[in-house]
């Protein structure tokens, strides 16, 4: 199972951060924002701060209040009290330091650790690299790009994923019948 923290960028600094959500829009006129979570929704209640990625810099924002609306999280940041204070951040990502992340259970991984992971078949042959992780109702699905550019969707289930070595960025898989055209 994958812990739903978003992908990572390719800098050393970013490897120490995990994406927890994306600001979708504002809510009301008092500075609240709607956030599409890429982590467990309840996780926001445990956070004191997040980093906002403006595209040029990371700004530390103190969380003042957390509420929920359907599948979104409503956040209020300290010092942001009007709609004009937050409107410019629509579409921007929110991050936390890796050390603030929830501990993982066995067979759980952060999406950030899976992106660009080398995928090998059971016999050790190179199969491709993970480009994305799709969260479906039943189980996660890994989007793997082959050297030919072909995209293959692999279910993140024990019958398919045999071993994951996060430290060395390698995954061994069993290619179940019907996965390849």
Q: Where are the domains of the chain?
A: 2-100, 116-173
- Strand 109-110 to strand 2-3: parallel, antiparallel, or no bridges (unpaired)? parallel
- Residue 119 and residue 127 in contact, taking contact as beta carbons nearer than 8 Å: yes
Pick 154 or 5 by higher pLDDT: 154
Position 8 confidence tier, pLDDT thresholds 50, 70, 90: very low
Largest distance between two CA atoms of the chain: 58
**CA nearest 71: which of 26, 36, 113, 111?**
36
Q: What is the average per-residue pLDDT within 52-59?
A: 92
CA distance 163 to 171: 6
Does residue 16 register a pLDDT over 80? yes
Per-residue pLDDT tens for 112-159? 889 999 999 999 999 999 999 887 778 889 999 999 999 999 999 999
Q: Provide the percentage of residues in the chain whose pLDDT is more than 90.
A: 63
Structure tokens at 172: 């061994």
Please state the length of the chain: 181
Nearest-CA neighbor of 161 among 97, 110, 113, 108? 108
Q: What is the pLDDT of residue 113?
A: 87
The mean pLDDT of 27-37, rounded to a whole number, is 93
Domain covering 116-173, topology:
SH3 type barrels. (2.30.30)
Sign, CA torsion 16/18/24/25: negative
- Domain 2-100: assigned CATH number: 2.40.30.60
């Amino acid at each position: 199972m994958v812990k739903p923290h978003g992908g990572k960028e390719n800098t050393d600094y970013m490897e120490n951060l995990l994406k927890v959500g994306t600001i979708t829009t504002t809510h009301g006129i008092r500075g609240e924002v709607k956030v599409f979570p890429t982590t467990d929704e309840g996780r926001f209640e445990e956070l004191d701060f997040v980093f906002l990625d403006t595209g040029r810099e990371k700004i530390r924002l103190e969380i003042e209040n957390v509420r929920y609306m359907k599948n979104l999280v409503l956040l209020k940041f300290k010092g942001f009290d009007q709609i004009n204070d937050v409107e410019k951040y629509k579409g921007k990502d929110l991050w936390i330091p890796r050390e603030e992340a929830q501990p993982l259970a066995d067979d759980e991984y952060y999406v950030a650790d899976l992106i660009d992971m080398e995928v090998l078949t059971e016999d050790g042959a190179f199969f491709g690299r993970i480009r994305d992780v799709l969260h479906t109702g039943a189980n996660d699905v890994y989007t793997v790009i082959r050297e030919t550019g072909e995209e293959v969707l692999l279910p993140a289930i024990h019958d398919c994923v045999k071993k994951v070595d996060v430290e060395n960025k390698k995954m061994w898989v069993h290619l179940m019948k019907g996965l390849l055209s």
